[in-house]
Structures are given as C-alpha cells and as structure tokens.
Chain A
Amino acid sequence: MSAEAISENRAKSDFWQGVRLSLPVVVAAAPFGLLFGALAVDNGFSVLEALLMSAMVFGGASQMVGIELFGQHVAPWLIVLSIFAVNFRHVLYSAGIGRRIAHWPPVQQAVGYFLLTDPQFAVAERKAEAGETVGFAWYMGLGLPVYVFWVAESALGAAFGRLIPDTHALGIDFLLPIYFLGLVMGFRKRPLWLPVVIASAAASIIAYKTVGSPWHVSIGAVAGVLLAVILPPRHSGVEGRP
C-alpha cells in the first residue's frame, strides 16, 4: 500500500471515530432542533428562514433567543446583539481550541471554527487532554453529523411543529442542563476543577439574579477563568513548562 493510501485510510477511521462520539450530541440536540423549528414558525419565520438560520448561525440557544425577540417585534439590531451576547462564550472556546488545531491549513481552521459548539469544544478538549492529536478528519466526523441533523430537525420542526406533544412532561426543557452537567463532569480530573466550578457557579447565579440573562454566562465564565489565572501556577499544573 502506498503512503498516500495509508494516510487516507487513517483519515477515514479517524472520521468514523468522530462520528461515534457525535451520537450522544445528536440525540441530546434533536428535541431542540425540532423545538427551534416549531417556535420559529410560531414567531413568524417561514420554514426556509428557520432552516437558513440553523444552517448559518448553528447555535441553538442564540437561535431560540433570536426568534423569541423577533416574535416580540424587538428592533433588528437588538436581536443581532442578543445573538452575539448569547454566543459570546465561544470567544473563550476559540482561544482554548486554537492551541489544538494550529497545525491545520488555514481553510480547514476556518471551517473548524464555524463548527465550534459547546459539545464540539468539550469533546475536542478531552481528546487533547488525553494527549491525542485533534485531527481535521476526526473533528469533522464529530461536527458534521451534529450540523446536518440540526439543520434537518429545524426544517422538520418548522414544517410539522404543531405535532410536538407536551414538552414539559417529556422533560425537554431541562435536557440541556443535564447534558451540560455531563460535560462539566468530564473535566473533573483537571487541576483547579472544583474551585473553578464553584467560582463560575456562584458568579453566574449572582449575575443571573442581578444583571440578568444572557450576560450571566460570560460573567460566570470570566470569574472561573480569572480564578485559574490568579491562583499560583503550582496549583494549576502549568508551572515549569516553557
């Protein structure tokens, strides 16, 4: 076998390894894709517009906030600002993941950042933490199914949204916090994990009660990150490295 064929096979198996890891993400996101589509049409979007928003923004919570405000006839610039505010946490993800994908060609990086969602970041960070290389094929295997299903579910929800049964009894409104708790727990072996979680939880709750949503996410996140910056490096496991 030529070296090229070997590396192609390698990329294929990396891709499918990523696809396997995407399954829980696809399952957890499915109700929200459908729900977004249904809510979008309820708030005056066409089916095509709902699909387009999912395909272009690809950020569940920000899309929900966006259509909610759209339905309330809020000024367009304020809707865009709100989408920006809800998605602001990605700035931190982007700063963190850049270290892991710096070896990719620029175009691949540009595509990679487009797919940078909460689970995409969390799963890729865990791979890097395990000492493995975050490759483009693997990253696409993880991200593409999530993207394709998200867009398809939005369209389905928009077209058939009235068929969705009682979402409260099905627990749909609280599935994401459960899922995100799982992602938080996945990082529990990192240095400073518990202090960071406590600082972020306290700051986000206080900010939620005072400043309000969605800023509590950015404020809480910055509190946790700052704590890790301020504490002496010997606690954070980065001392002695260049």
Chain B
Amino acid sequence: MSTTLWIIIAGAIATYLTRIGGHLVISRFENIHPRVEAGLNAVPAAVLTTLVAPAALGAGPAEWAALIVAGLVSLRGGLMAMFLAGAAVLVLARQFVG
C-alpha cells in the first residue's frame, strides 16, 4: 500500500477515536457530578467560539461587517438566514475593501 493510503487510514482511525473517545471515558462513571454536567453543557459554546474568535481577530473590516450583520440577524432569524446575510455582506464588502 502507498504511504498516502496509510496516512488516510491512520488519520481516519485517529479521528474516529476523538469522536468516540469522550463518550468512552465519560460512560465509565455511573453518576455525572453536577459540575461535570455544567462543563458538558458549556461544550458547544466553548468549542465553537474557538473556531470564530482568532479568525475574527485576524480579519479586516469586510469580515467584521459580515460577522456583525450575521450576529444581529441570528438574534431574530434562523441559521440559514444569518449565514446568507453574513455571506452577502462579506462578498459585497470585499468588492470595496478587498
């Protein structure tokens, strides 16, 4: 087998381990302590924020405008509406500020 194929297979196994690993560890405990439960409830905001914050900080006015508009739309509209609004502002603003 080629090296490429080995990289793909090993990468796939490593990825699956991350996707099932947290469950395997947590399911060993009979009762989940309230503080652990509070931590688990914080997972979505905690992880997803890290995919936005550094990218936003390193961006420019066009990207900031897109994020602000998308954030405001998300207060009222659904995910699709906020995404399309943000993308539209981004494409439009980049025509002017590159």
Contacts and interface: CB of A to CB of B under 8 A. Distances in A.
Same complex: yes
A24 B26 CA distance: 31
B15 to A, nearest CB: 5
Contacts of B34: 233, 236, 238-239, 241
Contacts of B78: 24
B8 A94 contact: no
A57 B38 CA distance: 30
Contacts of B4: 44-46, 49, 70
Interface in A45-60: 45-46, 49, 52-53, 56-59
A132 B15 CA distance: 28
Contact of B16 (A114, A222, A241): A114
Q: Give the size range of A's interface with the partner.
A: 35 or more
B48 A205 contact: no
Nearest to A241: B34
A23 B25 CA distance: 32
Interface string A200-230: 1111110010000100110111111111111
A94 B38 contact: no
A97 interface: yes
Interface in A172-208: 174-187, 190-193, 196-197, 199-205, 208
A216 B46 CA distance: 12
Interface string A59-84: 10010001000100000100111011
Interface of B: 3-12, 14-27, 31-32, 34-57, 59, 63, 66-67, 70-71, 74-75, 78-80, 82-83, 86-87, 90-91, 94-95
